[in-house]
Amino acid sequence: MDPQIIIARRVAQELKSGNLVNLGIGIPTLVANYVPADLKVFFQSENGLIGTGPIPEQGMAHPLLTDAGGRPISALPGAATFDSAMSFGLIRGGHVDVTVLGGLQVDAHGRLANWMIPGKMVPGMGGAMDLVSGAKRVIVAMQHAAKGKPKIVKKCNLPLTSARPVHLVVTDMAVIGFADGKATLLETAPGISVAEVMAVTEAELVVPDDIPEMKI
Amino acid sequence: MDPQIIIARRVAQELKSGNLVNLGIGIPTLVANYVPADLKVFFQSENGLIGTGPIPEQGMAHPLLTDAGGRPISALPGAATFDSAMSFGLIRGGHVDVTVLGGLQVDAHGRLANWMIPGKMVPGMGGAMDLVSGAKRVIVAMQHAAKGKPKIVKKCNLPLTSARPVHLVVTDMAVIGFADGKATLLETAPGISVAEVMAVTEAELVVPDDIPEMKI
Amino acid sequence: MMRAVSVEEAVAMIPAGASVMVGGFMGVGTPERLLDELVRQQKTGLSLICNDAATPGKGVGKLFDATLVSRLTATHIGLNPKAQQQMLANQINIDLVPQGSFVERIRAGGCGLGGVLTPTGVGTLVADGKRLIEVDGEPFLLETAIRAQFALVHAFLADYLGNLTYALTARNFNPIMAMAADTVIVTAEHIVPVGVIAPDHVITPAPLVDYLITNG
Amino acid sequence: MMRAVSVEEAVAMIPAGASVMVGGFMGVGTPERLLDELVRQQKTGLSLICNDAATPGKGVGKLFDATLVSRLTATHIGLNPKAQQQMLANQINIDLVPQGSFVERIRAGGCGLGGVLTPTGVGTLVADGKRLIEVDGEPFLLETAIRAQFALVHAFLADYLGNLTYALTARNFNPIMAMAADTVIVTAEHIVPVGVIAPDHVITPAPLVDYLITNG
């Protein structure tokens, strides 16, 4: 299975009926494709919409209805639009139940870096800092390693997105939680051993006796 | 002429076309009655409306359309409604061009007390403190003296509404400004002499050579 | 996910002594059915957060009639003699807040802000015990966030998902309070199917609402 | 009082070097005609306040194409390579702000607040040079108010008085910026008679608008 699809499928299982969910750009966007049809989830687009629907059919897009990347989207029945102050009031105020974001690095305590590579990539933090500071639950969806280089590290050498730790990291190899402020291996991907995960994880990992396999 | 009508007529002359105006309860409310028909003034009701119209005809009132005192009002074509955060954003943000408020005392520098008589009247400040702190121009509309006791005093012994001075006080006897931080007599009411004004004014008054009579 | 419940069930969830925000301005835009039921179930010792005390027999005035309030945060209580008597007899602990600061404190509570800096109240009694913070040489009061256990909100239209709109001056504090409480309970003048309220006309998006009171 | 003017007249009022807020999110909800005219009139050295740099050829992207921007306050510029090049070449002085803080700072500027306390950015690069203020033991960053000389706003409907509504995700920063500038200039998809926009659907009340660009 495609690594991105493993991640998206597994993250989708974290969503509960009634959740207000904000998905970041990249792998997180794919999560919407794997939400069971009977699960009533509200997706927020931080440019001002709750109730984002699929990409509209050819010829049905409206230029004033887009996602945060400026791409045409649709709105489901019961959608709501609002200004940016409200959008970030929802985010920072803890009204977003789950946010799923991409990551460059996550440290041993769950702190995320995902907005800047000094001297190289300075696009700006957009809404990421508010999402990590404010959402009830923050899930990072990313590849476990970049070209063999661990992304779950002892200490981030990239600038942090927030001092607040994330709740869960879901990669193509593992699910890692930070319940007691320590990176803890919770699940491995199908066919991946604990040793293989450890080999590409720089942060010290708490490894409980029983590590179930992801059910995807 | 009724003292309240003298005041209301004179205050109405301060309003300009396009002004956003907030009128307090009491004498200030009467000001709306004396605005020339060709002057396009927007009246705000701080409970969430711009474009307040006259009291509706018998049987035409709606229970969800009231002024800040809870009394039925109407809305003019082009009216706008909004929540209280917006209402006070408009007030504190300097978008209200003129507010007209009642007063208990005004001191020699133009500082107003109008919300509390300790141990006697503690209704609360409502929106008065925001209006005096935020409106572009603050006009106090009040009787010059209460039972012969001056209301324009050296120093307020009642709690201040704001540390920011008001711009103009209009009474049944005089118009007083505070341009240089000093109470200055600008006009007298018809038939009232400067000496009569001075006799019931406790604050030191700057009295220019030429004091015109109010044109009402 | 919003649940539709009877008014009895909803109020049964509110314990005596709870902190409760109630929408409305002089009783306009107040969830009367919830207030009637609070009285019927005799929920005593409430910490009430409401713009005003309305009038006896109307809106939150009913809570004072039944002496259910032990703390009150409000901007004015001038038109409810019972609330004033209870305050002067020290039966109610009262905190009077300027209206603009009142709504910003609630907004801050709902939007994840620690507080706001306002010029309102600087140099007055309201500044007592509050931090004065200078920005570019200008003094501001730090007004900190307020939240409550329950927000009782009255809408004009609610759809089956919980999207809300408000009518005219009945909007006032309702949408702000709907963000600032752990549990949000809503009454509506009309309950309508999903899709009846256009996305651009939704003021309170569905995920903010916990309980909607059913008709009858 | 709002005045209807041509796009040429409106932009002629903006001097080179002015501070200008522009509504829009990735070019959606941006007043394109005003941007085209800024380019035509070659208004150089602008201090631009806008959520993002859009993309070349679209929205504020046009200002970077024409190298008219010398300062930029934004939340991300990742999708505009020209803006990134100009930043890396030190042709633009750039201030990156988290999106929730960005909109709250503008809201504060428009609503007469000195600033807000936000948890976003605490413990990150964003905290550099900012005051850390504790409330009940929790650390917050003080984010101060932003205003501009001009706000360029794009609405969906504008009426002859200047009342505005917005459509779908094109609302974003427009109504917030419409409160935070000395002069507010508006383009609208449709100009309609007074009364066409219901009072409850007005997002920006008429008194906030200084100039409305006429059709054609």
Out of B14, B46, B196, B204, pick the active-site residue: B46
- Tracing tokens 């450890």 back to the chain, one arrives at A198
User: B134 touching C, CB under 8 A?
Assistant: yes
Closest-CA residue of chain A to D72: A124
Put simply, the answer to whether C199 touches A79 (Cβ < 8 Å) is: yes
User: D129 touching C, CB under 8 A?
Assistant: no
What is the model's pLDDT at position D208? 98
The percent helix, strand, coil of chain C (3-state, each to 5) is 25, 30, 40
User: B34 touching C, CB under 8 A?
Assistant: no
A136 contacts D101 by C-beta, under 8 angstroms? no
B67 contacts B78 by C-beta, under 8 angstroms? no
pLDDT confidence of A175, banded at 50, 70, 90?
very high
Please tell me the distance in Å from C135's CA to the nearest CA on chain D.
7
∠D13-D14-D19 over CA atoms, to 5°?
150
B117 contacts B34 by C-beta, under 8 angstroms? no
- Spell out the domain ranges in chain B: 3-199
A93 contacts C112 by C-beta, under 8 angstroms? yes
Better pLDDT: A119 or C13? C13
User: D129 touching B, CB under 8 A?
Assistant: no
Superfamily of domain covering B3-199: Glutaconate Coenzyme A-transferase (3.40.1080.10)
Return d(Cα D164, Cα C56) in angstroms, integer.
Answer: 39
CB pairs under 8 A between C and D: 71
Tell me the per-residue pLDDT of C74-127, one tens digit each, with 9 for 90 and over: 999 989 999 999 998 999 999 999 999 999 999 999 999 999 999 999 999 999
Segment B39-64 shows an average pLDDT of 95
At B145, give phi and psi (nearest 5°).
Answer: -140, 155
Put simply, the answer to whether B68 touches C28 (Cβ < 8 Å) is: no
Name the percent of chain D lying above pLDDT 70. Answer: 100
Parallel, antiparallel, or unpaired: how do β-strands B98-101 and B137-141 relate?
parallel
Which residue of D113, D179, D206 is in closest CB contact with B80? D206
> Residue type for B116, please?
M
**Pick from C39, C32, C29: which is nearest to C178 by CA?**
C29
**Pick from C106, C101, C99: which is nearest to C52 by CA?**
C99
Superfamily of domain covering C3-117+145-213: Glutaconate Coenzyme A-transferase (3.40.1080.10)
Helix (H) or strand (E) holding C201: none
Residues of chain A with C-beta less than 8 angstroms from the C-beta of D156 = 64
Positive or negative: CA dihedral D73, D74, D75, D76:
negative
Query: What are the distances in angstroms from CA D188 to CA B105, C90, D13?
Result: 47, 56, 19
Please tell me the distance in Å from D58's CA to the nearest CA on chain A.
11
Query: What are the distances in angstroms from CA D189 to CA A34, A71, D1, D152?
Result: 37, 20, 21, 14
The percent helix, strand, coil of chain D (3-state, each to 5) is 25, 30, 40
User: A107 touching D, CB under 8 A?
Assistant: no
Tell me the per-residue pLDDT of B190-216, one tens digit each, with 9 for 90 and over: 999 999 999 999 999 999 999 999 998
Tokens of C60: 């939150």
Put simply, the answer to whether B127 touches C100 (Cβ < 8 Å) is: yes
| Phi-psi region at A70: left, alpha or beta (left = phi > 0; alpha = psi -120 to 50) | left
Beta-carbon contacts of residue B161 (< 8 Å; ≥ 6 apart): B111, B112, B113, B114, B115, B125, B128, B129, B132, C124
- Which residues are paired to A206 by β-bridges? A184
Which residue of A17, A20, A95 is in closest CB contact with C179? A95
The 8 Å CB, 24+ separation contacts for D11-14 are D11/D37, D11/D38, D11/D40, D11/D41, D11/D43, D12/D41, D13/D183, D13/D185, D13/D211, D14/D38, D14/D43, D14/D149, D14/D150
Positive or negative: CA dihedral D75, D77, D83, D85:
positive
Name the percent of chain A lying above pLDDT 90. Answer: 91
> Residue type for D1, please?
M
Give yes or no: A46 in active site.
yes
Beta-carbon contacts of residue A12 (< 8 Å; ≥ 6 apart): A31, A34, A35, A36
D111 contacts C119 by C-beta, under 8 angstroms? no
Residues of chain C with C-beta less than 8 angstroms from the C-beta of D99 = none
User: B59 touching C, CB under 8 A?
Assistant: no
Task: Kindly tell me if the per-residue pLDDT of A90 is higher than 80.
Answer: yes
Residues of chain A with C-beta less than 8 angstroms from the C-beta of D74 = 124
Residues of chain B with C-beta less than 8 angstroms from the C-beta of D191 = none
What is the model's pLDDT at position B53? 93
Query: What are the distances in angstroms from CA B211 to CA B7, B154, B202, D37?
Result: 17, 22, 19, 51
Which residue of D2, D113, D199 is in closest CB contact with B80? D199
> Can you say how many angstroms the Cα of residue D34 is from the centroid of all Cα atoms in its chain?
12
Please tell me what DSSP assigns to residue C113.
-
Helix axes C99-111, A84-92, angle to 10 degrees: 60
Closest-CA residue of chain D to C199: D168
Put simply, the answer to whether C2 touches A18 (Cβ < 8 Å) is: yes
Segment D24-52 shows an average pLDDT of 98
Put simply, the answer to whether A85 touches D104 (Cβ < 8 Å) is: yes
C140 contacts C130 by C-beta, under 8 angstroms? no
- Tracing tokens 């009977």 back to the chain, one arrives at A38
Tell me the per-residue pLDDT of C34-54, one tens digit each, with 9 for 90 and over: 999 999 999 999 999 999 999
Please tell me what DSSP assigns to residue D204.
B
Return d(Cα C73, Cα D89) in angstroms, integer.
Answer: 54
**Pick from B58, B56, B87: which is nearest to B72 by CA?**
B56
**Residue D198, burial from CB neighbour count under 10 angstroms (0-12, 13-18, 19+):** middle
Please tell me the distance in Å from D103's CA to the nearest CA on chain B.
14
Return d(Cα B185, Cα C58) in angstroms, integer.
Answer: 46
ipTM of the complex: 0.97
Residues of chain C with C-beta less than 8 angstroms from the C-beta of B160 = 123-125
CB pairs under 8 A between A and C: 61
C212 contacts C191 by C-beta, under 8 angstroms? yes
Tell me the per-residue pLDDT of A185-213, one tens digit each, with 9 for 90 and over: 999 999 999 999 999 999 999 999 999 99
Dmax over Cα atoms in chain D, in whole Å? 57
Segment D142-161 shows an average pLDDT of 98
| Phi-psi region at D215: left, alpha or beta (left = phi > 0; alpha = psi -120 to 50) | beta
Highest mean pLDDT (candidates A146-150, D87-91, D147-151): D147-151
pLDDT confidence of D135, banded at 50, 70, 90?
very high
- Which C residues 190-209 touch D at CB under 8 Å? 199-201
D165 contacts D137 by C-beta, under 8 angstroms? no
- Which D residues 34-93 touch C at CB under 8 Å? none
pLDDT confidence of A1, banded at 50, 70, 90?
confident
What is the model's pLDDT at position B118? 87
Count of CA atoms in the C-beta half-sphere (13 A) of D127: 20
What is the model's pLDDT at position D201? 98
> Residue type for B41, please?
V
Task: Kindly tell me if the per-residue pLDDT of A121 is higher than 90.
Answer: no
Better pLDDT: C61 or A181? C61
Please tell me the distance in Å from A96's CA to the nearest CA on chain C.
9
Segment A111-124 shows an average pLDDT of 88
Put simply, the answer to whether A130 touches D77 (Cβ < 8 Å) is: no
Put simply, the answer to whether B78 touches D159 (Cβ < 8 Å) is: yes
- Tracing tokens 């009128």 back to the chain, one arrives at B23
Residues of chain C with C-beta less than 8 angstroms from the C-beta of D199 = 168
pTM exceeds 0.90 for this model: yes
Put simply, the answer to whether A124 touches D77 (Cβ < 8 Å) is: yes
What is the model's pLDDT at position C19? 98
pLDDT confidence of D130, banded at 50, 70, 90?
very high
User: D4 touching B, CB under 8 A?
Assistant: no
Task: Pick from C135, C157, C168, C197 the residue to mutate for testing the D interface (most D CBs within 10 Å).
Answer: C135
Please tell me the distance in Å from B197's CA to the nearest CA on chain D.
37
> Residue type for C136, please?
D
Beta-carbon contacts of residue C198 (< 8 Å; ≥ 6 apart): none
Return d(Cα B178, Cα A71) in angstroms, integer.
Answer: 57
Please tell me what DSSP assigns to residue D200.
G
What is the model's pLDDT at position B120? 80
Put simply, the answer to whether A89 touches C110 (Cβ < 8 Å) is: yes
Which residue of D116, D119, D167 is in closest CB contact with C200? D167
Task: Pick from A76, A105, A125, A162 the residue to mutate for testing the D interface (most D CBs within 10 Å).
Answer: A125
